[in-house]
Structures are given as structure tokens and as C-alpha cells.
A and B are shown apart, each in its own frame.
Chain A
Amino acid sequence: MNKIILVVHGGAGTITKQSMTPEKEKAYTEGLTVALEAGYKILKNRGSSLDAVSAAVVTLEDNPLFNAGKGSVFTSEGKNEMDASIMDGKTRKAGAVASVNTIKNPIKAARLVMDKSPHVLMTGKGAIRFAQENGLEIVDSSYFHTDFRYDQWQKSIKHDKIQLDHSGDKDPKGWLKTETEKKFG
């Protein structure tokens, strides 16, 4: 039997001990552990790596701590716009969805695009319709709301900046400008 292994991530950025409380650290560690165990259960029973990565990502999308699914950040219009993709190393087939805001688990929609459509990437209303027609759970966009991300968005608006999902610890001066510098001739 080949060596089975699963690796996950929950986002990168200015994540420092200073800003982390023991409770938060424990919650993030638990969230990642749940994801690893969800995928490992599949691999251990000779399931596919595709099913393992899907299962792991679904648990992270359902965990409001992480910027995906529930707990996603807010756009400049105060919406949650999500994206996801998946790829099979054996067949090199791939599926992705972008700019969706009512599919409970975007990674499941990406998998559907790979398995049940001739396409690789579907966006917006078309992607949502495809997901709905194939039985995926569609939720009201309020499902994705978390106060933590909403407050982060309010802070971004105040500083007229854009933030990477884990750069909240950085000084707002370090956040991204909403407009590229105007280059004057």
C-alpha cells in the first residue's frame, strides 16, 4: 500500500503570538485537527485523495474561524464572495467555482464542475444554478456572516484599505491600498 498522507492549511499572513490568545490558538488547532482526521478516515480505508481533500476542506469551510464558507470575509459591497478549486493528479481533471455567495460548501461545487460538467471554471449565477440543479445545499448569504469578519470589514472601510485574510495584526498602514498609486506623468 502506498504511503498515505494528508496536509492542510487554514491561511497564511501576519499571524503572531502577540495577537493570539490561548483560547484562539486552541480553537485553530482543533479546527485543523478535525480537518486532518476527516480526510485521514477516508485515506485509511483506501478512499481516494480527491475525497480526502474534499472532506478536509468542507470541515474548514464549516468552521467560522477560517476565511472560507462560513466566516468568509466581506467585499467592498458587504457581501461574501467565495471561490474554490480542486484537481485530480491522476487524470489532471479539475473543477472550480468563483464569485459564489449562496453555495454552503464551494469546494463541493468545484468537485461537481469537475465530475459533472465539461468545464473547469464556472462563476457567479451560472455556478450557483449548476450547484442547485445538482442538489448542493444553497443557503441564504446571511449564513456566512460572522461578527469578527464584519468588524474587520468596517475597519478596512475606515482606513480605505484591503486586507489579506490574516493580516489583521498588521498596522493598517501595511494593508493594501484600494486603488493602485495614481502615476502622474
Chain B
Amino acid sequence: TVGAVALDANGNLAAATSTGGMTNKKWGRIGDSPIIGAGTYANNNTCAVSCTGHGEYFIRDVVAYDISALMEYKKLSLKDAAEEVVMKKLVTDGGEGGIIAVDKDGNYTMTFNSEGMYRGVITADGKVWVGIYK
């Protein structure tokens, strides 16, 4: 799975996710990537989220929307909302994976409970950071 989230000069957020799914998956099996609210979500009032991992858990836990909802209704910060969903709820349910997200103020997080996640960020000054391991 691959994904991207962005904040543009007009203050608009967007999220995108694309995947080949799981090796040897059953024919017609769909994971979270094409499901809005599970693998992808964007709302200018809160954040943009793209997910990767064991799709069945991300669907059941409605991960991408849940992070946005925690920000909107419980006023959690992006980082705290992501920690709550990825490092607590998903781990409790046994769901492995991670998310990238950016909020309307340009704060971002790359939160994952697996051993690694291919990830990177480029900031307004054009500076690039890329990571692979924890």
C-alpha cells in the first residue's frame, strides 16, 4: 500500500491511498484502501489521513475517520488522536499497521505499531526526511 496526505497554500487538505492488497488474498477481497473513512479520509476542519496495514482491522475500526472524529468532537491534537487509534485501539484489536496524517495547521504525524513503515515528509522549505524503521 502507498499513500499521501497534503496541505496546500489555500489551506486545503487531501488524502490518497493505493494498494495491491495482500499476497494470496481471496478473489474479490477488498481491504481498507478504497474505503473512505477506513483507509482514506480528509476534512479541512480536522485532518487528512492515509492508512496502511491489515485492512480488515482498519475497516472495522474505521481508522481514518476515527482520528478525525477524535479531533473534531474530543478536541484531541492530531498526534494524540493518532496515538489513541493506532497505538491503543488497533493494538488491542490485533491490527498491525500505520497511518500518515496532516492537520489544518500543517502539523503531521507518521504513527505505526508495526516494526517499520516506509514514510517521508517534505516541508514548506523543501526539506525532505525519509524513514523506514521504527
Which residues of A pack against B, CB within 8 Å? 1-17, 20, 25, 28-29, 32-33, 35-37, 39-40, 43-44, 46-50, 52-54, 56-57, 60-61, 66-69, 71-77, 79-90, 92, 94, 96-99, 106-107, 110, 120-121, 123, 144, 149, 152-153, 156-157, 161-167, 176, 178
Q: Are B15 and A53 in contact (CB under 8 A)?
A: yes
Contacts of A81 in B (CB 8 A): 20-21, 25, 27-29
Please, could you name 21 A-B residue pairs with CB atoms under 8 Å apart, sorted by A? A2-B10, A5-B6, A9-B118, A11-B118, A12-B117, A32-B130, A33-B120, A36-B128, A37-B122, A47-B8, A52-B8, A68-B1, A76-B26, A81-B20, A82-B20, A87-B40, A88-B42, A97-B34, A164-B97, A166-B118, A178-B26
Closest to B49 in A: A87
The CA-CA distance from A12 to B116 in the complex, in Å, is 6
Binary interface encoding of chain B residues 12-55 relative to chain A, with 1 for a CB under 8 A from any of its CBs, else 0? 11111111111111111111011110011111100010101110
Q: Are B23 and A3 in contact (CB under 8 A)?
A: no
Closest to A87 in B: B42
Contacts of B116 in A (CB 8 A): 12-16, 166
Q: Are B121 and A7 in contact (CB under 8 A)?
A: yes
CB distance from B98 to the nearest CB of A (A): 4
Q: Are B2 and A57 in contact (CB under 8 A)?
A: yes
Q: Does residue B72 face the partner (Cβ distance < 8 Å to A)?
A: no
Q: A1-B9, A8-B119, A9-B50 are in contact. Are A85 and B36 (CB under 8 A)?
A: yes
B119 is contacted by which of A9, A106, A120 (Cβ under 8 Å)?
A9
Q: Are B6 and A6 in contact (CB under 8 A)?
A: yes
B2 is contacted by which of A61, A76, A89 (Cβ under 8 Å)?
A61
CB distance from B91 to the nearest CB of A (A): 13
Closest to B108 in A: A7
A15 is contacted by which of B10, B104, B115 (Cβ under 8 Å)?
B115
Closest to B109 in A: A7
Q: Does residue B100 face the partner (Cβ distance < 8 Å to A)?
A: yes
Q: Are B2 and A9 in contact (CB under 8 A)?
A: yes
Q: Does residue B87 face the partner (Cβ distance < 8 Å to A)?
A: no
Closest to B17 in A: A85
Binary interface encoding of chain B residues 105-134 relative to chain A, with 1 for a CB under 8 A from any of its CBs, else 0? 110101010111111111110101010110
Q: Are A110 and B14 in contact (CB under 8 A)?
A: no
Contacts of B7 in A (CB 8 A): 2-5, 49
Q: Are A2 and B19 in contact (CB under 8 A)?
A: no
Contacts of B52 in A (CB 8 A): 9, 11-12
Q: A84-B16, A164-B54 are in contact. Are A149 and B119 (CB under 8 A)?
A: no
Contacts of A90 in B (CB 8 A): 12-13, 44
